[in-house]
Chain A
Amino acid sequence: MLRVERVTKCFGGLMAVNDVSFNLAKVGITGLIGPNGSGKTTLFHLITAFYALDEGRIFFDGKEISRRSPHTISRMGLIRTFQQTRILPFLSTIDNLIAAVPDQTGEGFLPNFLRPAQVRREERRNRERAEEILEIVNMTHMKDELAGHLSYGQQKLVELGRVLMASPRMILLDEPTAGINPTLIRQLVDIIVRLSERGIQIFLIEHNMPIMAELCERVLVMDSGSLIFSGTPGEAQEHEAVIEAYLGRRDHVA
């Protein structure tokens, strides 16, 4: 579904992502790990076109997306979250969700007057769906609250709910469990598993290794911009290069 071919990105003299290739073919949950600064988030930015590629090509669902703009990629069903939670603080929780529905008729200026019935019908349907999704992420009680008033963990849930509203086929999650309490982490993990069971492909960056081991069939490991490992989480924990990347080289220890 997502194929990355020899992707490279430099910032000045720094090789942020260096000749990375991989293919996420079948539906499932794939993890992306690596030390801080290894290029994981940069890779996400490249896939979703928030950064321009220096070299390489990226394909989603068989179509090249390397030169497309972020919003067209999103409309193809490849939806991302951000490492720093980005909710829309001055919109209500439910509006945060409804806003995520792509191609709403009423988002044009004139259709509001030319096809008002269709706009109203869509709006009603989107609101109902947003309510269902708020149920899934356990945020129904906050639906009319300004999203900016929610706690950090709740904002993470709203952000995940927002991704669901966008009818994704594949989701890129950038550290979904960072900085939230264990109960909420459980909740998030359950939601992620359920999404995967519904046939949505999931690709996530995460530092919480037990969670990665539980969720992912496959992990990719990056270090200093390069992809150094691809395999099961169990194998990753045994792998020499991966251990080195996280802990430093063994033979330096006298």
Chain B
Amino acid sequence: MDYLLHIMILVAIYSIFAISLNLEMGYTGLYNFGHVAFFGIGAYASALLSLQGMPVWFSMVCAMMIAGGLGALIAVPALRLTGDYFGIATLVFAEMVRLFFLNERGLTRGPMGLPGIPRPSFIAEGVHGLPMYLVFCVILTILVFLVIRRVTTGPFGRALKVVREDEYVAQALGKNAFVFKIKAVTVGSVLAGLAGAQWAHYVSYISPGDFTLNETILVLLCVVLGGRGTNWGPVLGACAIVFFGEAVRFLPIPPDFGRFVAPIQGMVYGLILVVMMLKRPEGILPEYRSR
């Protein structure tokens, strides 16, 4: 039972993370390969503030603002680049952020990580707090889902899609493509920061090794699998990926082969990504219906 709660909490957190990437990748066409950076910034910021004695809700709000602010700051130079080059720049940024966590020992304790991150005061620590933490995460996920659905089904989402489809047309129609991209990255970073903060307060211990390219690939997979540019897609993708990831634990694997499981799992993720891109690039839930 507790294990099921654990999985559902992960689904809720990954849903927000995937929704945030989808806003950039699905709606705006920005291939952000460093999205984990903002998840990590949110996690570290919220953890450090709450460890200083700040209330958890306050730490989380600050973490979102810090992630969003850094997102906007990095987006301005990175968005001077287009297509693949933007992807490379974000990839490098994420690596820089990870190295910062690893080496700024005075602030982050480096590879030793940050233990003892508290949960919100109304939620018990340990296993007893799980149901309440799930409620907390689900409420936030629903809230984020509704906010993003509201903006993406209206003029804002349409303008993002115009930028995605054809930047020149966007400009010819009087839309400042650059500003729309900045907005998408900023909102995406705020939400990634929220997901990271939720995660840090849930697992109570974070270290730089939690924020690698693997996490970016995983969330990318959620979005691609579920359906880019849709609202339910990232949520569905998060469910599928988290359940798949956890299901592997129950496979009857002989102890001697245990050390191969993780790399094989990574290979399977990669395989899913390749097969999806080749066979069904629009994902399980397509953005548009072809007649």
Contact = CB atoms under 8 A, between A and B. Distances in A.
A95 interface: yes
B155 A89 contact: no
Interface of B: 147, 150-151, 154-156, 158-159, 161-162, 165-166, 168-177, 180, 183, 187, 229, 287-288, 290-291
A74 B171 contact: yes
A112 interface: yes
Interface of A: 48, 50, 69-72, 74-75, 79-82, 86, 88-92, 95, 98-100, 102-109, 112-113, 119, 122-123, 145-146, 149, 162, 166
Given A71-B176, A112-B151, A145-B291, A107 B159 contact: yes
Nearest to B165: A88
B151 A109 contact: yes
Contact of B174 (A75, A89, A113): A75
B243 to A, nearest CB: 30
Given A71-B171, A162-B173, 16 more contacts: A48-B172, A70-B171, A80-B172, A88-B161, A90-B288, A91-B158, A91-B165, A98-B158, A99-B158, A99-B161, A104-B155, A107-B180, A109-B187, A123-B155, A146-B290, A166-B173
Nearest to A105: B155
B31 to A, nearest CB: 16
A79 to B, nearest CB: 7
Contacts of B171: 50, 69-71, 74
A146 B173 contact: no
B174 A102 contact: yes
Nearest to A103: B174
A50 B287 CA distance: 31
A70 to B, nearest CB: 4
Given A74-B174, A162-B173, A108 B287 contact: no
12 contacts: A71-B170, A71-B173, A79-B173, A82-B168, A91-B158, A91-B162, A102-B173, A112-B150, A112-B156, A119-B154, A119-B155, A146-B290
Contact of B154 (A48, A75, A106, A149): A106
B267 to A, nearest CB: 32
Contacts of A105: 155
Nearest to A172: B172
A49 to B, nearest CB: 9
Contacts of B169: 82, 86, 88
Given A109-B156, A109-B183, A123-B155, A91 B174 contact: no
